[in-house]
């Protein structure tokens, strides 16, 4: 049996899933002040239907880190930057407390300016006097050579008692210093509260006699073991929309181009599935207005949900309880769809009454008002989807074949997820002239998605046969090539694959690393004069988002 | 404030040949540098996707032998097309200016293209200029060629065009490919003074180049009042370039672009792929986007080592004076040429294609028209590497040609259609129609 729990902004959803069927599902309002309680409440209700000993795996998705960062409740953190030459220092508007150090590395990992020990002494004094204990350190091109970051970390740990240091080369191997710095900063900031949360969950599971794999859902639609999440809390942001996207994918399990529309109470999240693969945000997740290296699905969120309140001024971007037809006080978007499409949801006469009141204020016919609202809502969703297509088609390209084979998106299907999806999604599909897909499990597809997705893991190898060096990430492994003279792309790929397997073993996900794919294969001849002096390779290999072996689809 | 448009197309899957300087690796470290800086994430920057030029866009400028397809690869369509994407973005006002960091380059490609010269088959800037004129009706354009090599292709294309001011500073042609770009090359009889060359001696530094910029180029631009300024942005004046001998720095390039303030910059040459390009490209982007570039420099930058050689400045002062006069007296000279009584001005040229080892012979005739810039006829002969010899007649009708020139040019297209020539072309920019006929079969193509 599998358990998936998605702690969302409005509701916490949970499912107990067994052999293609949802045995039990639970929906509770989320207590923003105590996410752990909301989570455990849902877990306990699910356990009423299953023996803890028979639970094979639990996957959690939570907004904890997102909330910590959005409300400024992360720990006070200092950002130490070693940007070297390039953009002016004042362009790094990431953290309030930012300290700049000399020391610089170039794109091939060569040191071009040394660290200044006196300057570091100054930094240490400042840390001691500021009372800040969380430090994020980021150096430009640390992904090519982490020597400066490691040295600064060592000095801080040696001389500042109680300090915790996160360095960017351990957070991401990707180019983009700004994003690496921001991701490291957010990681340092949320590390303690996230670890406390993990401790509490482990304690709670122990009390309940649950001894099974516990994973956390990531923004990339994959899971990571709860233990592994301790070092990378930022990976858990936006896992809610990822759960829905994977839920949509789990319900359909085919290679049709789809848009997943997750209609929540307050917001609607839209994501794309292209030829069966969820689309990633090409620039990474945006956290607190900063681009980061958190690999995330391309999700467009709009402040428009099934419970969005309707007033004389139109559809409002907030929620105030459930729809009138479900016993709420206010007329909502769901009520308007209920009347217009005669859906007979809940108590439709309540929809009539509340919408009727607003129509009367505007001296309008109730039906006409509903039509107007339905049209407005559908149009907003429609234009958001179109904007997503356009953005995807206009992604930059750096190779000739990518430009020649111009992307063109043709939509085949709209997948509705969330409680209000059955009301709103068919109208959108009609406007887009495609089939709607609504499943009986649509209301809890997010939790279902979480329960059945497999772990993801990405490994990048960079090798330079002129300097004879290689780096492997994650982990920041650096070493010398054994036979640089005969090192070829196939060797690079094999080296990356082996590392994927060993990294997977360490992370407790070895059964998944056999199903890998290469997403990056670059090789460049280095020509000096008219001769080849070496080669640069960059190879990326991954366990892509997918489903666990046990999941063979849903029965109905 | 509007952002600066950047179109980065490194063509990571295209090279002239495996070990040629114009290779896949050329913009690799530039990619590393600009992506690691995260400069595309800044609100001052908007990144664009490459586009494709059409065969017609190319035929608007070039007579490709035997046809456009023979002279290009897909990479050329993307490179030229990307310049057009950048031009559209700037003219439509989406961005305040734009920089197309593209390859393959183009500034050595001349009107007639038999093959590859100086790493170029087709001329990206020229294709962009004719596109701007055709699509937006833009009249006056200035191209400042800041590549270390003389922009001989661009010069030749606009040599008879008084509405395009072409200025090139470069390492003296006696010391570097293509061996042209002397001060005497000042434009055709009816476009005299709108071609301005400044041949600089080897080892010229920031000081020398900035003197030329401040005292010659900027005043000329002010007087010419172009609607659009294009920087044909080579990066090989750099002190570390392996194919040239100048001493310009990344700071120098940044300041140049800040002062010049081009509407559109298009990358040309520059083969110091590790020690110069990453920094110069950053310099250009930052300067065009108005970002403080004082913290930008090459790792080995040492201004003390880059001192202007003695005597260089004296020579530069004189050149600047001469060229100011060339430009300022242009109308007088043009008037005199018009009154010369000649109907056509004939000139002969031999063109060597260094990459493809082709020798071309050309006869050029420009009509000394009393009303417009005159139409042009080029008779060209060359043997291609495959052994075929082509003898062709090309008729070029400028976009603002007078009715007499139009009638005569279209007439000539018919009369030239004989066994004498293998192919006859008519580049009718007035109608935006590009015809060619294979005389042996009578097969005509219209783009």
Q: Note whether residue A519 is domain-resident.
A: yes
Residues of chain B neighbouring A87 (CB-CB closer than 8 A): 37, 39, 286, 291, 295-296
- Average pLDDT value over all residues in chain A: 93
Residues counted in chain A: 556
Catalytic residues of B: 108
Residue A304 shares a structural domain with residue A411: yes
Residue B135: partners with Cβ closer than 8 Å, 6 or more residues away: none
Residue B432 touches chain A, beta carbons under 8 Å: no
pLDDT at A410: 87
- Region A58-73: mean pLDDT is 91
DSSP secondary structure letters along A215-272: EEE-TTS-EEEHHHHTT-GGGGTTHHHHHHHHHHHHHH-S---EEEEEE-SS-EEEEE
* Contact in structure between B105 and B119 (CB atoms under 8 Å): yes
Question: Residue A181: which CATH number?
Answer: 3.40.1360
User: How far is the C-alpha of B93 from the C-alpha of B446, rounded, in Å?
Assistant: 33
Residue A473 shares a structural domain with residue A399: no
Q: Note whether residue A198 is domain-resident.
A: no
Domain end among A446, A481, A514: A446
Q: What angle do CA B263, B267, B273 make, to 5 degrees?
A: 145
Q: Note whether residue A349 is domain-resident.
A: yes
Residue A180 shares a structural domain with residue A93: yes
Identify the residue whose tokens are 């006696």.
B174
Nearest to A179 by CA among A135, A143, A134: A143
Residue B39 touches chain A, beta carbons under 8 Å: yes
Q: Note whether residue A315 is domain-resident.
A: yes
Q: Note whether residue A536 is domain-resident.
A: yes
Residue A315 shares a structural domain with residue A431: yes
Chain segment A32-59, per-residue pLDDT in tens: 888 999 999 999 999 999 888 999 999 9
* Contact in structure between B6 and B99 (CB atoms under 8 Å): yes
Largest CA-CA distance found in chain B, in angstroms, rounded: 66
Q: Note whether residue A420 is domain-resident.
A: yes
Phi (first) and psi of residue B439, to 5 degrees: -65, -30
- Region A499-506: mean pLDDT is 94
Q: How many CB atoms are closer than 10 A to CB A483? A: 10
Chain segment A278-328, per-residue pLDDT in tens: 999 888 899 999 999 999 999 999 999 999 999 999 999 999 999 999 999
Q: Are strands A2-7 and A104-105 parallel, antiparallel or unpaired?
A: unpaired
Nearest CA in chain A to B297: A85
Residue A416 shares a structural domain with residue A538: no
Residue B438 has pLDDT above 80, yes or no: yes
Residue A464 has pLDDT above 80, yes or no: yes
Residue A515 shares a structural domain with residue A494: yes
Residue B323 has pLDDT above 90, yes or no: yes
User: Count of CB contacts below 8 A, A vs B?
Assistant: 121
Q: CB-hemisphere CA count at 13 Å for B368?
A: 17
Residues of chain A neighbouring B73 (CB-CB closer than 8 A): 400
* Contact in structure between A304 and A376 (CB atoms under 8 Å): no
* Contact in structure between A28 and A41 (CB atoms under 8 Å): yes
Pick A67 or B429 by higher pLDDT.
B429
Range of the domain at A133: 77-191
Do B28 and A112 count as a contact with CB atoms less than 8 A apart? no
Q: Note whether residue A526 is domain-resident.
A: yes
User: How far is the C-alpha of B348 from the C-alpha of B346, rounded, in Å?
Assistant: 7
Chain segment B185-239, per-residue pLDDT in tens: 999 999 999 999 999 999 999 999 999 999 999 999 999 999 999 999 999 999 9
Residue A375: partners with Cβ closer than 8 Å, 6 or more residues away: none
pLDDT at A44: 95
Do B36 and A104 count as a contact with CB atoms less than 8 A apart? no
Interface of B with A in 62-101 (CB under 8 A): 73-75, 78, 81
pLDDT band at B340 (very low <50, low <70, confident <90, very high): confident
Please tell me what DSSP assigns to residue B77.
H
Question: For the stretch A99-109, what's the b/e string if a residue is b when 16 or more beta carbons lie within 10 angstroms of its beta carbon?
Answer: bebebbbbbbb
pLDDT at A97: 94
Residue A72: partners with Cβ closer than 8 Å, 6 or more residues away: none
Rounded to 10°, the helix A147-159/A117-130 angle is 50
DSSP secondary structure letters along B166-193: EEEEEE-TTTSTT----TT----TTSTT
pLDDT band at B10 (very low <50, low <70, confident <90, very high): very high
- Region A252-278: mean pLDDT is 92
- Average pLDDT value over all residues in chain B: 96
User: How far is the C-alpha of A456 from the C-alpha of B92, rounded, in Å?
Assistant: 43
pLDDT at A402: 82
pLDDT at B366: 96
Tokens of B69: 């397809």
Domain end among A417, A446, A475: A446
User: How far is the C-alpha of A528 from the C-alpha of B424, rounded, in Å?
Assistant: 43
- Region B347-373: mean pLDDT is 94
Residue A464 shares a structural domain with residue A327: no
Residue B98: partners with Cβ closer than 8 Å, 6 or more residues away: B4, B5, B6, B7, B48, B86, B87, B89, B90, B263, B264, B265, B288
Q: What is the ipTM of this complex?
A: 0.92
User: How far is the C-alpha of A251 from the C-alpha of A359, rounded, in Å?
Assistant: 39
Domains of chain B by residue range: 4-331, 341-446
DSSP secondary structure letters along B116-146: -BTTBSS-HHHHHHHHHHHHH----EEEEE-
Residues of chain B neighbouring A176 (CB-CB closer than 8 A): 35-36, 38, 41
Residue A364 shares a structural domain with residue A426: yes
User: How far is the C-alpha of A526 from the C-alpha of A533, rounded, in Å?
Assistant: 6
In the CATH hierarchy, which fold is given to the domain comprising B4-331?
3.40.800
* Contact in structure between B5 and B284 (CB atoms under 8 Å): no
Residue B10 touches chain A, beta carbons under 8 Å: yes
Residue A475 has pLDDT above 90, yes or no: no
Residue A401 shares a structural domain with residue A472: no
pLDDT at A73: 87
Do B18 and A178 count as a contact with CB atoms less than 8 A apart? no
Residue A405 shares a structural domain with residue A503: no
Residue B84: partners with Cβ closer than 8 Å, 6 or more residues away: B51, B53, B57, B127, B128, B131
Residue A502 has pLDDT above 80, yes or no: yes
Q: Note whether residue A533 is domain-resident.
A: yes
* Contact in structure between B304 and A98 (CB atoms under 8 Å): no
Determine the distance in angstroms separating the CA of B212 from the nearest CA of chain A, rounded to an integer.
Answer: 27
User: How far is the C-alpha of B26 from the C-alpha of B42, rounded, in Å?
Assistant: 25
Do B42 and A88 count as a contact with CB atoms less than 8 A apart? no
User: How far is the C-alpha of A128 from the C-alpha of A149, rounded, in Å?
Assistant: 19
pLDDT band at B19 (very low <50, low <70, confident <90, very high): confident
Distance of CA B302 to the CA centre of its chain: 31
Residue B21 touches chain A, beta carbons under 8 Å: yes
| Tally of domains in chain A | 3
Residue A145 has pLDDT above 80, yes or no: yes
Residue A172 shares a structural domain with residue A310: no
Domain end among A424, A446, A468: A446
């Amino acid at each position: 049996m599998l358990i998936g729990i998605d702690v969302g902004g409005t509701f916490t959803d949970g499912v107990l899933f067994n052999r293609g069927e949802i045995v039990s599902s639970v929906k509770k309002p989320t207590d923003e002040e105590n996410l752990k309680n909301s989570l455990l409440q849902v877990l306990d209700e699910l356990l009423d239907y299953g023996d803890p000993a028979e639970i094979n795996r639990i996957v959690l998705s939570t907004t904890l880190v997102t909330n910590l960062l959005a409300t400024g409740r992360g720990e006070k953190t200092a950002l130490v930057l070693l940007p070297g030459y390039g953009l002016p220092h004042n362009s790094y508007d990431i953290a309030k407390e930012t300290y700049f150090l000399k020391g610089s590395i170039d794109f091939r990992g060569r040191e071009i300016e040394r660290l200044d020990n006196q300057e570091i002494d100054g930094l240490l004094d400042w840390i001691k006097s500021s009372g800040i204990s969380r430090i994020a350190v980021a150096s430009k091109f640390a992904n090519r050579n982490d020597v400066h970051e490691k040295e600064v970390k060592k000095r801080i740990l040696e001389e500042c008692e109680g300090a915790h240091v996160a360095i960017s080369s351990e957070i991401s191997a990707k180019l983009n210093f700004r994003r690496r710095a921001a991701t490291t900063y957010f990681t340092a900031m949320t590390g303690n509260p996230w670890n406390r949360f993990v401790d509490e969950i482990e304690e709670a599971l122990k009390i309940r006699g649950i001894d099974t794999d516990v994973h956390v859902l990531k923004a990339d639609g994959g899971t990571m073991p709860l233990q592994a999440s301790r070092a990378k809390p930022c990976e858990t942001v936006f896992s809610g929309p990822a759960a829905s996207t994977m839920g949509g994918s789990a319900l359909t399990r085919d290679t049709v181009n789809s848009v997943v529309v997750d209609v929540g109470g307050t917001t609607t999240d839209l994501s794309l599935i292209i030829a069966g693969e969820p689309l990633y945000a090409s620039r990474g997740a945006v956290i607190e207005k900063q681009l980061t290296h958190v690999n995330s699905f391309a999700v467009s969120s709009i402040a428009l949900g099934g419970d969005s309140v309707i007033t004389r001024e139109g559809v409002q971007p907030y929620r105030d309880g459930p729809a009138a037809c479900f016993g709420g006080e206010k007329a909502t978007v769901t009520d308007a769809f209920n009347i217009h499409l005669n859906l007979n949801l809940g108590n439709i006469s309540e929809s009539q009454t509340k919408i009727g009141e607003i129509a009367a204020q505007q001296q309008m016919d109730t039906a006409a008002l509903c039509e107007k609202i339905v049209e407005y809502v559908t149009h907003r969703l429609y234009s958001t989807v179109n904007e997503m297509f356009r953005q995807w088609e206009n992604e930059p390209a750096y190779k000739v074949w990518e430009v020649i084979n111009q992307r063109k998106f043709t939509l085949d299907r709209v997948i509705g997820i969330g409680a209000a999806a059955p009301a709103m999604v068919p109208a959108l599909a009609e406007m887009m002239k495609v089939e709607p897909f609504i499943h009986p499990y649509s209301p809890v597809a997010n939790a279902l998605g979480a329960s059945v997705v497999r772990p993801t893991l990405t490994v990048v190898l960079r090798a330079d046969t002129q300097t004879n060096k290689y780096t492997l990430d994650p982990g920041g492994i650096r070493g010398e090539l054994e036979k640089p003279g005969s090192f070829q792309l196939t060797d690079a790929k094999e080296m990356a694959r082996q590392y994927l397997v060993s990294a997977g073993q360490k992370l407790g996900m070895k059964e998944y690393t056999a199903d890998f794919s290469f997403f990056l294969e670059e090789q460049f001849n280095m020509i000096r004069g008219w001769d080849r002096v070496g080669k640069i390779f960059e190879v990326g290999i991954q366990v892509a988002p997918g489903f666990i072996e046990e999941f063979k689809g849903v029965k109905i | 404030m509007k952002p600066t448009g950047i179109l980065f197309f490194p063509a990571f899957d295209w090279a002239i040949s495996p070990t040629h300087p114009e290779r896949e690796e050329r913009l690799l470290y530039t990619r590393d540098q600009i992506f690691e800086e995260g400069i595309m994430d800044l609100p001052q920057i908007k990144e664009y996707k490459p586009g494709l030029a059409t065969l017609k866009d190319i035929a608007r400028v070039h007579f490709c032998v035997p046809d456009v397809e023979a002279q290009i690869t897909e990479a050329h369509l993307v490179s030229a097309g990307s310049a057009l994407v950048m031009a559209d973005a700037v003219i439509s006002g989406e961005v305040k200016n734009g920089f197309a960091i593209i390859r393959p380059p183009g500034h050595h490609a001349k009107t007639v293209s038999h093959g590859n010269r100086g790493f170029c088959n087709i001329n990206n800037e020229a294709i962009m200029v004719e596109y701007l004129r055709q699509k937006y009706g833009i009249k006056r354009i200035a191209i400042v060629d800041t590549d270390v090599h003389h922009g001989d292709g661009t010069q030749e294309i606009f040599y008879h065009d008084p509405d395009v001011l072409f200025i090139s500073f470069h390492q003296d042609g006696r010391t570097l490919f293509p061996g042209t770009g002397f001060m005497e090359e000042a434009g055709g009889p009816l476009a005299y003074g709108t071609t301005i060359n400044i041949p600089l001696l080897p080892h010229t530094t920031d000081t020398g180049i900035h003197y030329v910029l401040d005292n010659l180029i900027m005043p000329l631009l002010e007087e010419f009042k172009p609607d659009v300024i294009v920087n044909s942005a080579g990066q090989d004046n750099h002190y570390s370039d392996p194919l040239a001998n100048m001493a310009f720095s990344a700071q120098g390039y940044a300041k140049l672009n800040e002062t010049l303030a081009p509407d559109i910059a298009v990358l040309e040459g520059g083969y110091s792929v590790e020690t110069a390009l990453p920094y110069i490209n950053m310099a250009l982007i930052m300067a065009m986007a108005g970002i403080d570039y004082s913290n930008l420099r090459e790792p080995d930058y040492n201004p003390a080592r880059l001192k202007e050689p003695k005597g260089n400045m004296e020579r530069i002062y004189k050149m600047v004076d001469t060229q100011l006069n060339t430009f300022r007296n242009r109308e007088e000279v043009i008037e005199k040429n018009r009154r010369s009584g000649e109907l056509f001005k004939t000139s002969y040229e031999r063109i060597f294609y260094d990459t493809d080892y082709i020798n071309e012979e050309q006869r050029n005739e420009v009509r000394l028209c009393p009303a417009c810039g005159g139409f042009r006829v080029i008779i060209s002969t060359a043997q291609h590497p495959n052994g075929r010899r082509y003898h062709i007649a090309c008729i070029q009708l400028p976009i603002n040609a007078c009715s007499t020139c139009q009638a005569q040019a279209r007439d000539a297209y018919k009369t030239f259609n004989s066994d004498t020539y293998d192919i006859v072309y008519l580049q009718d920019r007035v109608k935006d129609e590009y015809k060619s006929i294979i005389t042996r079969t009578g097969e005509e193509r219209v783009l």
